[in-house]
Structure 1
Amino acid sequence: MALVEKGEIFSMSVSKRKYEEMLEEQSDKELASILGISYDELCQLEWDVDTNESSDGLIYDYIYTFRDDSNLEILKKIQGIDIEGRYVYLQPWESDYYESDYYESEIAWYIESPKQLSVLENHLNSIISLTKIVVDEPTKIDLFVMLHAHVIAAMEEFLSGTFIHEITNSDELMKKLIETDPKIGEKKLTLKDIYKENEKIKTTVAKYLNDLTFHRLNKTKEMYKQVLDIDFENIGWFFKAIDVRHHCVHRAGSDKEGKKVDITKESIIELVGDCRELSTLISSEIGK
């Protein structure tokens, strides 16, 4: 009886392992598709996964960092990759999330809600409040690292949500986007598809824009200028803050040499002020 039980247990464990391997393979194939490479190419790479998340555990991005000895030619094929840092951001709604009711409701909110600025303000006010918490020095350093990353994530969300809302609520701006963005402008449709797409054009455009990486500031700046005619002008501080954010989410606030990046209460308050100034500028330009 014991032998039978052991055999049954062994069989169950093998079946479970095969099932887990099947799930892993399926997951990797989905990841390869999202990255724009083949499954065989993905199998040649090794990577680590981190998250960029709020203090209460809300995940903003998954950060896939590929090993230093990864095949450079394969890495160059990956959509949205920072080739120098060998990392790419994937948002939580990637893969199966695209089919969820939550994703659909989020897209609907982007289209319908004009409250992006007030949402950003709520985040920034909370961040300022958190800088006033009295904690020991090691904890304070970790807190400031998380707060810096949170400021950037909140600002990127504002840039994304504001752009999507403005574009999808203006036929003129949607036309301008299609004329200036080669990827969406070159989408080929049959006559049958045209009628289908016409009924859900706002959602289609919103999903396309939501899939763009708004942490790529050069691209974001260009899109705002080309489509909304809003020039960010001098935002060197934002580029620098994004570079620091990279150290925050990849190495817990240390640079490649292991040295802690300089993040203080004052630097966070200054960053919050800069974000407020830029977001107010954008909102006032849109309101004209």
Structure 2
Amino acid sequence: MSVSKRKYEEMLEEQSDKELASILGISYDELCQLEWDVDTNESSDGLIYDYIYTFRDDSNLEILKKIQGIDIEGRYVYLQPWESDYYESDYYESEIAWYIESPKQLSVLENHLNSIISLTKIVVDEPTKIDLFVMLHAHVIAAMEEFLSGTFIHEITNSDELMKKLIETDPKIGEKKLTLKDIYKENEKIKTTVAKYLKTTVAKYLNDLTFHRLNKTKEMYKQVLDIDFENIGWFFKAIKVRHHCVHRAGSDKERKRVNITKESIIKLVDDCKELSTLISLEIGK
């Protein structure tokens, strides 16, 4: 490799690290003191739901505490794909456009959940069955998260009244400052702008395993859509198990296998169907 090419790659890596530091809410110098591994949480067809950054055990604890959204005990943080330049692509734009235009979130979720039930009936040896159930549990949660995110985006971006209500009740978007340049630039695509924000916010609150953040999603649905999830303690627990599934292949921090069975997956599917049906019925009133 030539010196100039190596230098260029080093510059690209430095720029990438600076962007990562900005997303995490720490300085570039602080990031340089850390080491980390990156895993992905993705669907069976390769769609990446989020990146999981896990920092080494000997990382500087004071720096870790500054990272936005980190689970300090587990030393990991979830980052959404759309927080990178990749999701400025046409693919991402078309995905957002689908959320805005399509009212079919419930049928998409039901198709996922029905497929999962079918997969629980596959006859395989015991070790394979354990791994299969680990993947199915994670898939149920990912499908439900996508439903919550997509439904919220669709309803808000297709109602001027609800968009106004969101802006009035959510200080993060309500207090966002726009320059004249921003207004001119965003004028023709305000729905897309709000949709991007909503997808990022809802999905991040759901995926961040500082578990109180799921309460924020409940709050948003209640304040803006007037839909009360009531008791979803089961969902908190399922998300916690999902982390073990995607990050440690179904083992907890003590390397003990989490208890996922055919029955627990069917129960989780039933709970998700009940909640998603409740949401859809409330929206349809």
TM superposition score category, shorter chain reference:
0.7 to 0.9
Question: Hey, what's the Cα distance between the residues in 1 that align with 2:95 and 2:128?
Answer: 34
Question: Hey, what's the Cα distance between the residues in 2 that align with 1:188 and 1:144?
Answer: 46
Of the structure 1 ranges 144-153 and 13-22, higher mean CA displacement relative to structure 2 is found in 13-22
What number of residue pairs does the alignment pair up? 277
* Deviation for aligned residue 1:214: 11
Of the structure 1 ranges 191-200 and 35-44, higher mean CA displacement relative to structure 2 is found in 191-200
* Deviation for aligned residue 1:21: 2.5
Rg larger in 1 or in 2?
Answer: 1
Relative to structure 1, the CA distance from residue 205 to residue 151 in structure 2 (aligned partners, 3 Å threshold; closer, same or farther) is: closer
8 Å contact kept, 1:214–1:220:
no
* Deviation for aligned residue 1:219: 1.7
Of the structure 1 ranges 111-120 and 45-54, higher mean CA displacement relative to structure 2 is found in 45-54
8 Å contact kept, 1:54–1:146:
no
* Deviation for aligned residue 1:210: 12
Deviations 1:9-51, CA, capped at 9 Å, x for gaps? xxx3544443432332222122222222221121111111111
Deviations 1:113-143, CA, capped at 9 Å, x for gaps? 1111111111111111111111111111011
Deviations 1:210-253, CA, capped at 9 Å, x for gaps? 99999942221111111111111111110000110111111111
- Equivalent position of 1:190 in the other structure: 179
* Deviation for aligned residue 1:63: 0.8
The answer as to 2:234 corresponding to 1:245 is no
Relative to structure 1, the CA distance from residue 215 to residue 103 in structure 2 (aligned partners, 3 Å threshold; closer, same or farther) is: farther
Relative to structure 1, the CA distance from residue 16 to residue 75 in structure 2 (aligned partners, 3 Å threshold; closer, same or farther) is: same
Structure 2 residues not aligned, in runs of 5+: 191-198
Relative to structure 1, the CA distance from residue 71 to residue 208 in structure 2 (aligned partners, 3 Å threshold; closer, same or farther) is: closer
8 Å contact kept, 2:169–2:223:
yes
* Deviation for aligned residue 1:200: 2.4
- Equivalent position of 1:199 in the other structure: 188
8 Å contact kept, 1:107–1:203:
no
Deviations 1:175-198, CA, capped at 9 Å, x for gaps? 111111111111122355445444
Relative to structure 1, the CA distance from residue 27 to residue 98 in structure 2 (aligned partners, 3 Å threshold; closer, same or farther) is: same
TM score, norm. by length of structure 2? 0.87
TM score, norm. by length of structure 1? 0.86
Question: Hey, what's the Cα distance between the residues in 2 that align with 1:278 and 1:218?
Answer: 15
Of the structure 1 ranges 60-69 and 243-252, higher mean CA displacement relative to structure 2 is found in 60-69
| Local SS of the residue matching 1:213 | coil
Deviations 1:147-188, CA, capped at 9 Å, x for gaps? 101110110011111111111111111111111111111112
Relative to structure 1, the CA distance from residue 196 to residue 208 in structure 2 (aligned partners, 3 Å threshold; closer, same or farther) is: farther
| Local SS of the residue matching 2:81 | coil
Relative to structure 1, the CA distance from residue 18 to residue 203 in structure 2 (aligned partners, 3 Å threshold; closer, same or farther) is: closer
The answer as to 2:282 corresponding to 1:285 is yes
* Deviation for aligned residue 1:99: 2.0
| Local SS of the residue matching 1:281 | helix
The answer as to 2:99 corresponding to 1:110 is yes
* Deviation for aligned residue 1:95: 1.3
8 Å contact kept, 2:137–2:242:
yes
8 Å contact kept, 1:46–1:67:
yes
Of the structure 1 ranges 65-74 and 152-161, higher mean CA displacement relative to structure 2 is found in 65-74
Relative to structure 1, the CA distance from residue 194 to residue 23 in structure 2 (aligned partners, 3 Å threshold; closer, same or farther) is: closer
Question: Hey, what's the Cα distance between the residues in 2 that align with 1:200 and 1:207?
Answer: 23
The answer as to 2:267 corresponding to 1:270 is yes
| Local SS of the residue matching 2:67 | coil
| Local SS of the residue matching 1:132 | coil
8 Å contact kept, 1:151–1:272:
yes
Question: Hey, what's the Cα distance between the residues in 1 that align with 2:167 and 2:52?
Answer: 29
Of the structure 1 ranges 37-46 and 213-222, higher mean CA displacement relative to structure 2 is found in 213-222
Of the structure 1 ranges 159-168 and 41-50, higher mean CA displacement relative to structure 2 is found in 41-50
| Local SS of the residue matching 1:61 | strand
Structure 1 residues not aligned, in runs of 5+: 1-11
| Local SS of the residue matching 1:62 | strand
- Equivalent position of 1:219 in the other structure: 216
Relative to structure 1, the CA distance from residue 175 to residue 208 in structure 2 (aligned partners, 3 Å threshold; closer, same or farther) is: farther
Question: Hey, what's the Cα distance between the residues in 1 that align with 2:178 and 2:201?
Answer: 13
